[in-house]
Chains A and B, each alone.
Chain A
Amino acid sequence: GQQLNQSPQSMFIQEGEDVSMNCTSSSIFNTWLWYKQDPGEGPVLLIALYKAGELTSNGRLTAQFGITRKDSFLNISASIPSDVGIYFCAGQLQGGSEKLVFGKGMKLTVNP
């Protein structure tokens, strides 16, 4: 089936540092979404992207929809302890299906 390659799988950073993560695929996507999930909870939507090249911010978070429509990245600036969690990318494939394909997640640890 379709897969999203999300990297890195985990990061350990100091409070105040910036973080970057990305997702790539061999398939073309119409939509890219970024979610954060805390243990035992459902994913929380952070940013939604709908156009190739689109750059969108949500507070300290910035995400971009890749020009080729096969990738996306998420940046977190000036990390704080509450940024700890698992970040997932999700994409809606070109072709009309409503399903989202998810990456395996990036576990972020922030040391105060």
Chain B
Amino acid sequence: DTGVSQDPRHKITKRGQNVTFRCDPISEHNRLYWYRQTLGQGPEFLTYFQNEAQLEKSRLLSDRFSAERPKGSFSTLEIQRTEQGDSAMYLCASSLLGGTGVKAFFGQGTRLTVV
């Protein structure tokens, strides 16, 4: 049973550098979400894909952030010109279209530290 997989688990980068994270959802899931979590807070929604289409973006997703899901399978989240305020846990989740509501399963997250 393969759950949502995220890579890397940890990333330390210098301010101003670009970083890219990868998410592999549960194989039959066609919805994929990115969330950000800072210390002591609940996750905050960033963006959501249905298959390869990016259907919703949060105002938190500044111009420096870009997410893709080119073939409707894995997704990448890129942060350009990182800032110290970008330090957080970046969580990916997936869900299956259909049913009565969202049932999102999360990966283990990527912990980003910007120094």
CB within 8 Å of B: which residues of A?
A: 4, 6, 30-31, 33, 35, 40-45, 48, 50-51, 88, 90, 92, 97-105
Known contacts A42-B108, A48-B103; is-contact A99 B48 (Cβ 8 Å): yes
Within 8 A of A (CB), among B73-115: 91, 99-109, 111
Contact segment of B12-20, B38-46, B63-71: B38-46
CB within 8 Å of A: which residues of B?
A: 4, 6, 31, 33, 35, 40-45, 48, 50, 55-56, 58, 91, 99-109, 111
Contact A92 B102 (CB under 8 A): yes
B-chain residues with CB within 8 Å of residue A102 when the two chains form the complex: 42-44
Instruction: Kindly identify which residue among B42, B48, B55, B108 contacts A88, using a CB–CB cutoff of 8 Å.
Output: B42
19 A-B contacts, Cβ less than 8 Å apart? A6-B42, A30-B101, A31-B100, A33-B103, A41-B108, A43-B106, A45-B103, A45-B105, A48-B103, A51-B100, A88-B42, A98-B55, A99-B56, A99-B58, A100-B35, A100-B102, A102-B42, A102-B43, A104-B40
